[in-house]
Amino acid sequence: MSEFLLLAALFLLGTIALGFLRVHWGPSRADRIASAQLVGTGGVAMTLLLAAAGGNSAIIDVGLVLALLAAFAAVAFVKSTSADGAGDPEENDE
C-alpha cells in the first residue's frame, strides 16, 4: 500500500512542477494565483500522502501549514487586485 501512496505522491509532484511553470509563465495575474492555489493544494495532498506512506504524523503539520499559507496567499491576491484595497482595516474613510 505504501508503494501506491508514494507513486501517487510522485504524480502530484509532477503536477506541482507543471503548476510552477504556469505560475511563472501565466498570461494574467488571475491565472498565476489559480496555479499557486493548485500548487498549495497539491503540496498539502502530497505531504498527507507521504505522512500516510511513511507513518510519520509530524508531516501532517507541514501540510496544515501549507494549507494556511495558500489561504493567506489568496487573500493577499484579492486585496492587491482591488483598486482601493477594499476591506483594508488600516484604510481611513476620510
Tens digit of pLDDT for each residue in 2-51?
899 999 999 999 999 998 998 888 788 888 888 888 888 999 999 999 99
- Alpha helices, H only, 1-94: 2-25, 29-54, 58-81
User: Three-state SS for 31?
Assistant: helix
- Contact call for residues 46 and 12 (beta carbons, < 8 A): yes
**The length of the chain, given as a count of residues:** 94
For residue 26 the three cell numbers come to 501565466
Tens digit of pLDDT for each residue in 62-78?
899 989 988 888 888 87
- Contact call for residues 42 and 50 (beta carbons, < 8 A): no
Cα–Cα distance measured from residue 79 to residue 14, given in angstroms and rounded to the nearest whole number: 30
